[in-house]
Amino acid sequence: MSGKIRRCGEDYTYNLSRSCPICGRPTMIAHPARFSVQDRFGAYRRMAKEGAAK
């Protein structure tokens, strides 16, 4: 069950169901770190990775 946390793209509520219990919209899998704007180091790491690839 762990690693399957989902998030509603409408109200950004984390839950484990495929549909948001609040607004009823379908939820999407909450990806780790990669898409987190709070993970600044992750962003730098991704930039470095892309820069090295080209």
16 touches Zn ion (CB under 5 A):
no
**Nearest to Zn ion of 29, 47 (CB atom):** 29
Among the residue ranges 17-25, 32-40, 45-53, the one whose residues contact Zn ion (CB under 5 A): 17-25
6 touches Zn ion (CB under 5 A):
no
- CB of 14 closer than 8 Å to CB of 5: yes
Bridge partners, 15 (sequence order): 6
- CB of 17 closer than 8 Å to CB of 4: no
23 touches Zn ion (CB under 5 A):
yes
Q: Residue 14: name the closest of 45, 36, 34 by CA.
A: 36
Residues lying near Zn ion in the complex (CB under 5 A): 8, 10-11, 20, 22-23
